Every structure is written in structure tokens, then in C-alpha cells.
Amino acid sequence: MKLGEWLRIYSFISSKMGYSKFRDQISPLIAQLFCLSRFAHPSILEKTIRGRDAFVFAAGPSLAKAISLTADIIERTNRSDRVVISADPATKILIEHGIYPDVVVTDLDGDIRYISIASRAGAIIMLHAHGDNISRIIFLSKFLNNVVVSTQVLPIPPIVNVGGYTDGDRAILLPLRMGAKRVFVFGMDIYDELDPYKVGSVDRGVKRLKLLIAKKIMELVDMKDRVYIVSSQIDVEGFNYVELDELPEIILSNPLYE
């Protein structure tokens, strides 16, 4: 998805959801200012992801079922051949199972304690700034290192825009944009109950609408054939759908791991 296409999509989303374009534009600038001493150049994302299998973890209910088997597979792969990407609240359950993400995609509505632990362990934090999280950026960004700031409006370098509306679909678009070999997605549930790992209260109606918008965005994604949805409740034509018991053969039979 090219930047111009995404900006047209987001302009439509913004008008429908009543977002402030001014706040959306100043939020990443504020984030860049507050993270200046802990800034990572965006090129580090491509260096970390390109040519590798990307394991992307969203925070839907199906993640709990997948995590143990996935932890074993990750343990059997070489770090140089794969990259682990967590979408904000999923960071907590990953770390609790001994999986430390290489990249965390966050707008800071997950558990900051675990996002900070991942950051201190060396994870790149792609901090997404938008009009509704300015206060969280001001008060919580101090706990983060290796920060790349992202936006959903026109990016002013070194701020980036990889597309995506929620942490989940943004975490899928990121490795596709950065040249991942394949993208394996866990816990991306659109039609199930809301994610159990989010911090604070959630407006169920708004959350459901956001997830449906995320699904629509994924339907427009290029290179769908590189994406494998693993035992998740989402239906997007063009993606590969696999069950957990198929995963070891698909991943470990790859020449990368022989």
C-alpha cells in the first residue's frame, strides 16, 4: 500500500470517526521531541526485518492457545532468520512465556511495564502517535528506548507512516513494507470477543468498529500471499490460513532453518 493510497483511506476514516487532523499532525512531532534522546533511525526497522520470517502477535483471545507451540518453534529457529513483532498488549503474554519481541508496535494503550521490559531488552519500539494519545506519550515515553515514531498522517522524516489503523494491522503491514520473507500472524481476531490483554476500559462498540476497519484495510494489502494467518478469527481473501498443527512443517521445513 503506497503512502498516497493510505492517506486517502485515512482521510475517509478520520472524517467518519471525527478525529482532529490538527492533533493527529502534532502528536508525532510531540513524540519525536519527547523521545529525542532515545531515538532510533527508521532504517533500523528494515535492517531488522528484511529477508526474515516475521512472527506477528496481536492480542486477540486466540493468542493464548497459540503461544506455547509458537514459543517452541521460535526457540528452534535462528535469530538471524526470524523477527518477532508484538502489537502492543500482546507484549505482556509474550514476555510471560519467555518470548522477547524484536519490535513492539504500540500507541501505549498496553501494559507499559512489559513494553518497557521489551525496550530495555533491546526491542525497537515503533511508537504510534495520534490525536488521542498525546498525554500517554508525554507521561509514558520516558520509559522507552530505541524509539521510531510513526504517524497515520503525512510523515515528516524521520517520522514514518507504514499504514494501518490499529496496532494489529499496523504490525502486519510493517514487515510487508520492510521486505519480510513471510509473515505469520497470531491472535488477530476480528469476530471474537475483545482482546483480554488491553489496559483500562474499552468501548466495545468503538473497538469492534476499529477491528472491522482494520479488516477492510488488510483486504487492500499488497503481497497477501506472504501472509499466513494462524488459527485466528479473521477472514481476508488472499491470505494463507493455517492451523497450529500445520505450523511446524510450514516454518521448519523452510531452507532458512535446515
What percent of the chain is predicted at pLDDT more than 90? Answer: 69
- 71-75, 128-132, 168-172: range with lowest mean pLDDT: 71-75
Instruction: Give residue 2's pLDDT.
Output: 87
Q: Tell me: pLDDT of 37 over 90.
A: yes
Considering the entire predicted model, what is its pTM?
0.92
Indicate left, alpha or beta for 238 from its phi (over 0: left) and psi (-120 to 50: alpha): left
Residue spans of the domains in the chain: they are 3-257
Helix H or strand E segment including 186: strand 182-186
Most confident option among 116-120, 198-202, 214-218 = 116-120
182: which strand partners?
53
For 53, 102, 104, 192, the CA distances from 122, given in Å and listed in that order, are: 19, 7, 10, 33
